[in-house]
Amino acid sequence: MRVLVTGGAGQLGRCMAPRFPSHEVLAPDHAGLDVGDRDAVERVVNEFVPDVVVNTAAMTDVDGCERDPDAAYRSNALALRHLGVAAGRVGAHVVHVSTDFVFSGDSERPYREWDATAPASVYAHSKLAGEEELAASSSSWAVVRTSWVFGRPGGDFVSWVLDTARQGKLERVVDDERGSPTLASDLATVLARLAVERRRGLYHVTNQGSCTRLELAREILSIAGLSEVSPEPMRSADLGRPAQRPLYSVLDNAALRLGGVDLLRSWQDALAAYLAESGLLDGSGS
Ligand SMILES: NC(=O)c1ccc[n+]([C@@H]2O[C@H](COP(=O)([O-])OP(=O)(O)OC[C@H]3O[C@@H](n4cnc5c(N)ncnc54)[C@H](OP(=O)(O)O)[C@@H]3O)[C@@H](O)[C@H]2O)c1
207: left (phi over 0), alpha (psi -120 to 50) or beta: beta
pLDDT tens column, 228-255 = 999 999 999 999 999 999 999 999 999 9
- In the chain, how many domains are there? 1
pLDDT cut 90: percent of the chain above it: 98
Contacts of 260 (CB under 8 A, 6+ apart): none
CA angle (72, 191, 115) in 5-degree steps: 65
The answer to whether residue 228 sits within a structural domain is: no
pLDDT tens column, 25-43 = 999 999 999 999 999 999 9
> Taking all residues of the chain, what is their mean pLDDT, rounded to a whole number?
97
Name the residue among 58, 144, 140, 61 with its Cα closest to residue 97.
Answer: 144
11 in contact with ligand 1, CB cutoff 6 A: yes
* CA 56 – ligand 1 centroid, Å: 6
pLDDT at 3: 98
The answer to whether residue 248 sits within a structural domain is: yes
The answer to whether residue 280 sits within a structural domain is: no
pLDDT tens column, 198-219 = 999 999 999 999 999 999 999 9
6 in contact with ligand 1, CB cutoff 6 A: yes
The answer to whether residue 145 sits within a structural domain is: yes
pLDDT tens column, 67-109 = 999 999 999 999 999 999 999 999 999 999 999 999 999 999 9
The answer to whether residue 197 sits within a structural domain is: yes
The answer to whether residue 164 sits within a structural domain is: no
* CA 34 – ligand 1 centroid, Å: 12
CA atoms within 13 A on the CB side of 251: 30
Which 8-state DSSP code applies to residue 282? Answer: T
The neighbouring-strand residues paired with 178 are 212, 248
How far, CA to CA in Å, does 249 sit from each of 117, 118, 180, 238? 11, 12, 8, 19
pLDDT tens column, 183-192 = 999 999 999 9
CATH number at residue 200: 3.40.50.720
Query: pLDDT grade, residue 282 (50/70/90)?
Result: confident
102 in contact with ligand 1, CB cutoff 6 A: no
| Active-site residue identified among 123, 203, 248, 274 | 123
What's the predicted TM-score (pTM) here?
0.98
The answer to whether residue 159 sits within a structural domain is: no
For residue 19, the enclosing domain spans: 2-151+180-209+244-266
Spacing of C-alpha 9 from chain mean position: 14
The answer to whether residue 78 sits within a structural domain is: yes
